[in-house]
Amino acid sequence: MLRVENVSAGYGNINVLNQINLNVNEGEIVTLIGSNGVGKSTTLRTISGLLRPTEGRILFCEGDISQMTPHRIVDLGISHVPEGRNVFPRLTVKENLEIGAYIRRDRQEIRKDYTMVMETFPQLARRKRQTAGTLSGGEQQMLAMGRALMSRPRLLLLDEPSMGLAPLVVLGIFEIIKEVNRQGTTILLVEQNAQVALQTAHRGYVMETGRIILADSAGALLANDQVRKAYLGE
C-alpha cells in the first residue's frame, strides 16, 4: 500500500531524513520506533505532505504522492493524527468529528461512519455534546483518532498516541488501535513506548539519526538484543 523509497527531507537547511526506505502492506500495523529526535515524526509529516521530500519518492497504491498537497493526500485515503492530539478545544466532540469528514459529500455514509466511531469509542458517545477542551488526555486522543477515521482512510498515520497518558489509559488506546486495524484500516504507528508498540504491530522499523537501521517482524525485534538494550530498558 505504501512505499517510501530513498527519501530525504528536513526543515530549511537541516536534513533530518537520510534516504530512508520502508513499506506498509495493506491490513498491517507497522511501527517505527527510535529515540527522541531521530526523525520519526518527520517521516509521518513527509508522508502526509506537510513536508516535501528533497530526494526519493513516496508511493501510495502505486501512485506517486511525493509532491502532493496534504488535502489531496487525505482525499486519496491517508489520515494523520499528529503528536499532541490537537483537537479543536472550543468545539464539541460531535463538531470535531464532523470536521474530520469535511472533504466528503456522501452524507449517508458519513452518518454510518459517525455511528461506527461512536461504537468504537463509547466514551466519546457519552460526551458528544461536551467541548473537546474539557476532555481528559485519553479522551482527546480518542477524539483525534476518531476525527481521522471520519475521512474513511485506507492508511492511518499515528504519531505518539501514548504521549502523556497514564499506563492503564495507554493499554486502552492500543486495544482501540488493534480494533481499528481489525475493522480494515492499515496503520503506520510512531511510538516512544517500544514495548507496547511492538506488542501491537505486525512489523517494525528502528530509526537512528534519520536512517532506518533495522527492519523485521515485531516479534523478532522484541527478541533482538540490540533493541532490548536500547529501547526496552534491559
Enter the C-alpha cell of residue 51.
513536508
| Residue 21 domain-assigned (yes or no) | yes
**Which structural domain range is residue 171 located in?**
2-84+154-231
pTM of the predicted model as reported, rounded to 2 decimal places: 0.92
| Residue 158 domain-assigned (yes or no) | yes
**What pLDDT was estimated at residue 166?**
87
Classify burial at 234, counting beta carbons within 10 Å of its beta carbon; exposed 0-12, middle 13-18, buried 19 or more.
exposed
| Residue 116 domain-assigned (yes or no) | no
List the beta bridge partners of residue 39: none
| Residue 208 domain-assigned (yes or no) | yes
What sign for the dihedral angle of Cα 34, 35, 38, 44?
positive
| Residue 186 domain-assigned (yes or no) | yes
Residues in the chain, total: 234
User: Averaged over 108-119, what is the pLDDT?
Assistant: 93
| Residue 143 domain-assigned (yes or no) | no
Classify burial at 73, counting beta carbons within 10 Å of its beta carbon; exposed 0-12, middle 13-18, buried 19 or more.
buried
| Residue 135 domain-assigned (yes or no) | no
On the question of pLDDT at 234 being above 70, the answer is no
Helix (H) or strand (E) holding 158: strand 155-159
| Residue 129 domain-assigned (yes or no) | no
**134-160: per-residue pLDDT in tens?**
999 999 999 999 999 999 999 999 999
**169-228: per-residue pLDDT in tens?**
889 999 999 999 999 999 999 998 999 999 999 999 999 999 999 999 999 999 999 999
88, 144 contact by CB (below 8 A): no
Best CA proximity match to 31, nearest among 178, 209, 226: 178
Q: How far apart are CA 211 and CA 186, in angstroms?
A: 23
Number of domains observed in the structure of the chain:
1
Cα Rg, the chain, nearest whole Å = 17
CATH number assigned to the domain comprising residue 33: 3.40.50.300
